[in-house]
Structure 1
């Protein structure tokens, strides 16, 4: 597993986090957390992880036991991770889906995301017990109705090259980016210790995130249980759209999320836990990731995992907002 070994080797000496890639499982309008049972859901999502993903996912069913394959490098991770899809809006009003590429350190995965489970920060495991999520757990971060970016964990990086980090913004970059745009989603890590979900899929968690993988603040008494800090990085290859003559004449930036957000403030992510057995807890209990016994799989195996497309519609482009449906997560 050369690609995985390289990713782990780049961790800080204490190796206080899991960092791995997940290939694309599907791109379609399904959302079992916010709009369970809706076929289609209100807007398009890019989904990675286990093949138990469906329009409806019963919280009483352990995804880790139901799924049979995963697009993630850790073969015991059948969780699902998803975000909206990025489009380029042409001057004539038509839309073109922006392609993805994987993080350069994580092998030749097909699109997808880089996933993090951080214990304290990149340099330390800390002294706080990190409690794994439980079967049936789910949460969201951000909201498509947000009018202004206020969550420091939801950011963008204008990539100078594939290795660029830092210089984060809370809205879309205003100028063409040499190597594309990275969208970043940091989830809250403080749990109330009781509820696997909540009506808005956020109130059972408390957000102490400071952004940029900094050590999050202490959990409050209302949400005292420290869980792993989950984060996504999605690399959008916008380079084919860097010709400024293609951009709006008024100088505004041309990219929109699949829920028709041209500012970027409404960026959001969904998480549904599905690790097999106690695999994630074992990893969080380890003082060094090289000491864990998590099972891995090859890039070819990860890329092979997929689900059936149940929403039959064009997703790569359209002449109007035929794909871009306003709505909830």
Structure 2
């Protein structure tokens, strides 16, 4: 469905809360304050959006919703940080070039970034009537595994997919692997997080175990949460549009005809896609939004101009050429955890 149609339906739908908003780029650099806190440079490059309280440590005891002074997101009360890996194009001659990001439909003028969703029900359900509990201060989570290279490895994470955009409005089909043909309007990387929380832990050692998927069915079908994770939270989703249009000349692609795109952790399959989230909404603003008649836009939240979104930034911690840095092989999560534990 084209977003112009979705927006039109939003004007008449008797709905509750579905937030869809754009966030401009905050910084592109080799840091990962969730998996590699305090380590700079981190094992691979990330693109990050959200509030300017971002730092390499991200102490969970700090309320970044109070600490931040600006955000790259449309809703000015959202100082959360959201990030993914970075996509590169590896040409036949071995040269590497970072693929730029472009804004989604409806957010033209934004400096790259991503589109973020918070949903009470599946995207196609215009009613959005289910009750959800907003994330709490200090909450964080990770979805996906940077080291995954096969479909079997990535199947444990539902709905981390790609859409080959024929036009900016294309939304299907979705694949779990990188598109194998040129995509005229770019590649959309979709990341959807689990929707059931244990109700106790704001994080876990692997940043995943405190979250779960419905025990049967899916979030979209209203599947129930398991007894171990009984609290239903919003469906958090990222859409990142990578502008691959300038790399679609097949003469530049590998001799064997394989697809030329690679994630910053040296993943040419696409199965290593992942997303990180650190909650930072100010006060109870997210819960108020989830309890209000919001659909795409939300009158209960404060919004800011595109100029203000694009203006917010943070200084770089790592000095590096992020446009042509060679992607790096991933470090297994277990080894990353061990390295962090050994930090003084």
Q: Tell me, yes or no, whether TM beats 0.5.
A: yes
**8 A contact 1:20–1:116 mirrored in 2:** yes
**Aligned twin of 1:139:** 141
- Does structure 1 residue 239 correspond to structure 2 residue 240? no
**8 A contact 1:30–1:55 mirrored in 2:** yes
**Aligned twin of 2:97:** 96
* Change over 3 Å in CA distance of 1:241–1:234 after alignment to 2: same
**Aligned twin of 1:281:** 287
**Aligned twin of 1:201:** 207
* Change over 3 Å in CA distance of 1:6–1:19 after alignment to 2: farther
**Aligned twin of 1:173:** 179
Per-residue CA deviations over 1:251-301 (Å, capped at 9, x if unaligned) read 110000000000000100000000000000001111344664100000000
- Does structure 1 residue 294 correspond to structure 2 residue 301? yes
* Change over 3 Å in CA distance of 1:55–1:175 after alignment to 2: same
Instruction: List aligned pairs for 1:81-160, cutoff 5 A.
Output: 81-122=82-123, 123-127=126-130, 129-146=131-148, 147-148=150-151, 149-150=154-155, 151-160=157-166
- Structure 2's unaligned 5+ residue stretches are 334-344
Deviation at 1:207, TM superposition (A): 2.0
- Does structure 1 residue 267 correspond to structure 2 residue 273? yes
Per-residue CA deviations over 1:197-216 (Å, capped at 9, x if unaligned) read 00000000002399998345
**Aligned twin of 2:337:** none
Per-residue CA deviations over 1:221-274 (Å, capped at 9, x if unaligned) read 100001110000000000111010111111110000000000000100000000
TM-score (norm 1): 0.92
Deviation at 1:92, TM superposition (A): 2.1
- Does structure 1 residue 182 correspond to structure 2 residue 188? yes
Residue correspondences, number: 322
**8 A contact 2:217–2:223 mirrored in 1:** no
* Bigger Cα displacement from structure 2, 177-186 vs 85-94: 85-94
RMSD of aligned alpha carbons = 2.3
**Aligned twin of 2:256:** 250
Query: SS at 2:102's partner residue?
Result: coil
1:327 to 331, 337, 344: 331
Alpha-carbon distance in structure 1 between the residues aligned to 2:194 and 2:319: 34
- Structure 1's unaligned 5+ residue stretches are none
**Aligned twin of 2:76:** 75
Per-residue CA deviations over 1:57-86 (Å, capped at 9, x if unaligned) read 110111100100000000000000000000
* Change over 3 Å in CA distance of 1:96–1:116 after alignment to 2: same
* Change over 3 Å in CA distance of 1:301–1:255 after alignment to 2: same
* Change over 3 Å in CA distance of 1:56–1:281 after alignment to 2: same
TM-score (norm 2): 0.88
Alpha-carbon distance in structure 2 between the residues aligned to 1:82 and 1:163: 23
* Bigger Cα displacement from structure 2, 8-17 vs 155-164: 8-17
Query: SS at 1:234's partner residue?
Result: strand
**8 A contact 2:16–2:290 mirrored in 1:** no
Deviation at 1:153, TM superposition (A): 1.2
**8 A contact 2:19–2:294 mirrored in 1:** no
